[in-house]
Structure 1
Amino acid sequence: MTVPLDSLDALAARVSDGAFVALPPDNSLCPVSLVRALIRRGVRDLHLLGVPISGFATDLLIGAGCVRSLTTSAVTLGEAGLAPRFTAAMKAGSLRLTDATCPAVHTALQAAEKGVPFMPLRGMIGTDLLPQRSDWKVIDNPFADAPDPIVLVPALVPDLALIHAAMADRHGNVWVGRRRELATIAHAARATLVTAERIVEGNLMEDERLAPGVISSLYVSAVAVAERGAWPLGLLDLYGADAAHIDAYAKAARTDEGFRAYLAAHVLAPMPKAAE
């Protein structure tokens, strides 16, 4: 193998305290099994980047005391409502939040992907958010004949991108289907750690049907097998989200006691094979 095939715990051990970590949203191959392993390891002081929004996995990490700061466009559990541990942390003042927009997050990662210090972006002129972001600069378009303000968004370079994939091969190529934004995260980050449902034989990059949905092993640092590794979130067309479980979490995590009970039952305790 050109890319190490690690255990889930070994993959978690690669995430150091204080790391800048990019996580995909709940509907886009989020590595929940790896997040649980990080909580069990006791990682601390993470700076999370929601790409472009945050959800269940981020709320788990915040509640477990793993997160110092968060850059994102939103934090939500979707139809299950507010993210309760995020909400509690913000009320307590224990979490530093940098507010963004979905286009700004993607643009910043695209700048890092291309190796440039910034990229221009329209659509934020006149918004309430722009004056709050001193790192976003407004200039006049140098190619326009008339005043034409445009925003420059600095590149975001995560230390690590964490993603889940439907499958990986023994060369370290991973298949994410149509979720090509995950390739942008991998290209932008200094390293990418991947959990995968299964390992397949052959080379995914050599399959004309699958190659368009593959992240090359050039951008993958290590892979661990994690069956149902997105649960209770869904994974493409392989399995749907466990709405009842997410709803139960949202209700339990409204209190410190309820969240601790959830952690004890579903994160710190050994997970049944079917759940993981």
Structure 2
Amino acid sequence: MKRQPLRLAILEATRILEDAGVASPRADAELIAAHVLGVERGRLPLVPLVDPPVVEAIRQLVVQRAKRVPLQHLTGWAAIGDIAVDVGPGVFVPRPETELLVEWGLKLLKGREYPVVVDLCTGSGALALAVAHARPDAVVYAVDVDTNALAWARHNADARAEEGDTPIRLYSGDVTDPTVFAELDGLVDLVLCNPPYVPQGTSVPPEVADHDPPQAVFASGGGLDIIRHVVSAAARLLRPGGGVAIEHDDSHGRAVPALLSARRVLTDVESHTDLAGRPRFATALRAISSSA
């Protein structure tokens, strides 16, 4: 069988994905090719020719992606910080913008020894595991109410532990419960949360509508109901000088900072944008000295 140019296979894949309305057709085509070949995306130019079975394997995955199956379901993983976590049906796929929470949190933790970190609504465990990887001295707690998500989080936590990362402490719990992690009240250096926040009834891409668990995407109260509980949890969990970062819908650029500002124990409230310039997450610090 005659070998074929990989470049042509990627061009054809890009065309198919573009016609299907995929948001990043070229990038997805290259990532699929890299996945099939078992190489990093940046090394694709070093593979000029491929065998016909490789072209066919790329085509089959492209057909699935054109049906709007998430790329991460096809490859089996999603990147977060300096690690990757396994994902698939039944768990929310971490988005690239969520890495901004990790970056903010790690910056806050600089200079703090043995920090205590809590990841609320952990899902796949992505945030907790990214922090544990970057800060081996941290004590990282993670919680979710969904049993499917917890199964994925436990799988990922076990895999990271096998790689040598510090194990995280994973719990089943509901962030709307005012006693969740009550034993940590006033002891936490960093609270991170990527909660369900899309307002109910919002139109979302097929990758989300057909594949992400709806309970991990949508929230009532204009998308703010879970976030209200997260703010309350952060206010009691954080130690003085500790910080909280909450991802939110781009329509919440004023609402979430306002919820944080309404708590007297929280200060230095800031709104942050994603790489596209959209309001994406809000942060606050626990006042050094204040009454609740």
Computing the radius of gyration from Cα coordinates, the structure with the larger value is: 2
Higher relative contact order (CA closer than 8 Å, sequence separation 6+): 1
State the TM-score, normalizing by the size of structure 2: 0.35
State the TM-score, normalizing by the size of structure 1: 0.36
Higher percent of residues as helix: 2
